[in-house]
Amino acid sequence: MSTISAMTKDTYTMYKMAQGDTQATTTAQKEASKAEESSSAQSKSYATAAANVNKLSNLVGSFDSAHGSKKTNAAPDSIASLWSGYTNSYSSGLANLNALSGVSSSAAGLVNSYNEAKSTFDTQFKAYMGDLEKSAKTVKNMSYEFSADDIKEAEDGSKTYSDGLKAAIGNVKQLVSDYNDALDLTSDYSSVGKRMESLHKSFADTTYRADTYNQLGITVDSKTGKMSVDEDKLAKALTENGDRVKNALGANGLAGKTEQHLAQANSQSDKLFPSLQSMFGNSIKTASAYTNPQVLNATVQYGMIGNLFSSMF
């Protein structure tokens, strides 16, 4: 079947032939003029023109047939084009899905990391505060009645303590150790929120009694608030003035202050390191649903299939 450009050229040729202006037509007329009389030559010219017009008609018919065939293939061609567009859109959709899934995976990783950190904190908080509560209660309720007889000095200058005094020193050291652990815990997580930061500052308030504690053999770090115990100095303070030590470390001192901090910490334990659910409520459930890879995949596919049908009907 002729191409459109070829058919156009042939159409033009036939048109010129019908007018008798082409070289072939002119030659034929000249030959006819030589062979026949002028009257018969004129008649043959009309016959030739009629034949050429018939050819032109056939050519136009061929063009119409070709055009009609193209119309017949229009529907399949359109469907093929739509399907190609769909597959291209699907590929693009998958690329977008991969990007969204990547964001979702990153977000899921952050959520898991947050939850792990919260779980670790909750475990440590419960353990540290539980230990601190026991040691504070022990120091608050222990006996402070000691005398010089509770310290024995050997000839070589070494000293030994009575069981009671040794236990009292051990109780104070345990309280200091547990307090330092709680101080470290609140310091490590102080950036979580204002509540945690405030709790840490409360535990670090040992610095304002640093001079008093120092006289008892308890040194306070001015930067961190952490404490350390000099056993010999504490033993001497207990045997020389037990009431003074009790006032500084007992119910009205470090042990009592510790219990106040514990009450503050326990009253807001669920808010110190809040869960994502408590911070975002149902929004986090909605976000999780919309960023679920299976949901995203189904959404992209259904959306593209819907667009495909919409373009066909």
> What pLDDT, on a 0 to 100 scale, did the predictor assign at position 142?
97
Give per-residue pLDDT as tens, 46-69: 555 555 545 544 544 554 554 455
In a domain, 227, yes or no: yes
Question: What pLDDT shows up at residue 309?
Answer: 47
Tokens 């514990």 appear where?
262
User: CA angle at residue 301 from 297 to 305, to 5 degrees?
Assistant: 170
Residue 230 belongs to some domain of the structure: yes
- Determine, yes or no, domain membership for 134: yes
Residue at 300 is within a domain: no
Find where tokens 């929004």 sit: 283
Range of the domain at 222: 119-271
> 305, 82 in Cβ contact below 8 A?
no
Q: Which residues contact 97 (CB under 8 A, 6 or more apart)?
A: 293, 296, 297, 300
Please answer whether residues 164 and 143 qualify as being in contact, where contact means their C-beta atoms are separated by less than 8 angstroms.
yes
Query: Which stretches of the chain drop beneath a pLDDT of 70?
Result: 1-110, 276-277, 279-313
In a domain, 64, yes or no: no
Strand segments, DSSP code E, in the chain are 151-153, 159-161, 218-220, 227-229
- Identify whether 146 is part of a domain: yes
Determine if the pTM surpasses 0.85.
no
User: What is the per-residue pLDDT for 275?
Assistant: 77
Q: Looking at the DSSP assignment, which residues form a beta bridge with residue 9?
A: none
Asked whether residue 59 is domain-assigned, the answer is: no
How many domains are contained in the chain? 1
